[in-house]
Amino acid sequence: MPTEFTVTHRVQFSETDMAGVVHFSNFFRWMEEVEHAWFRSVGLSVAMLSDEAHVGWPRVSATCDFFAPVRFEDEVKLTFRIVKLGNKSLNYEVEFSCNGKRVALGKTTSVCCQLTPDGMKSIPIPPTIRQKLESAA
């Protein structure tokens, strides 16, 4: 199933800690960066109108395993892959690599929700959105 989508991120000084290594929290930001870019690449967004409903993709799970440090000005390749497309959910992973070496692997589960002023409710992925997700995955 996985079709890959890749962006490259250059590490900024502000993303490093006192040891000069990228702080772990930035990997989660980068996961979101490549996720949003992927949604845009298939004509969607993580927050959009669909059939007059405001649809979003809140995360219900996010993990990241780290294998090697990344430092200031390194170019990190973020490779996004859909792992599973469920009735209401989307599981994806992001492989982080630097200089041809895997440095981390992140995994996320997002649920399709209708957003209202009162909160959010999980819904089946609308057909028009599902079609775009299936064709991209």
pTM for this prediction: 0.90
> Count of CB atoms within 10 A of residue 89's CB?
16
Q: What pLDDT, in 10s, does the model give residues 35-79? A: 999 999 999 988 887 777 899 999 999 999 999 999 999 999 999
Residue 15: the pLDDT is 97
DSSP 61: E
Which residues are paired to 94 by β-bridges? 80, 106
User: Do the beta carbons of residue 21 and residue 69 sit within 8 Å?
Assistant: yes
- List of domains in the chain: 4-136 (3.10.129.10)
Cβ pair 53, 128 in contact under 8 A: no
Note the pLDDT tens digit of each residue in 11-20: 999 999 999 9
> At 2, is the pLDDT very low, low, confident or very high (cuts 50, 70, 90)?
low
Q: Is the pLDDT of residue 4 over 70?
A: yes
pLDDT for 85-125, tens place per residue? 999 999 999 999 999 999 999 999 999 999 988 999 999 99
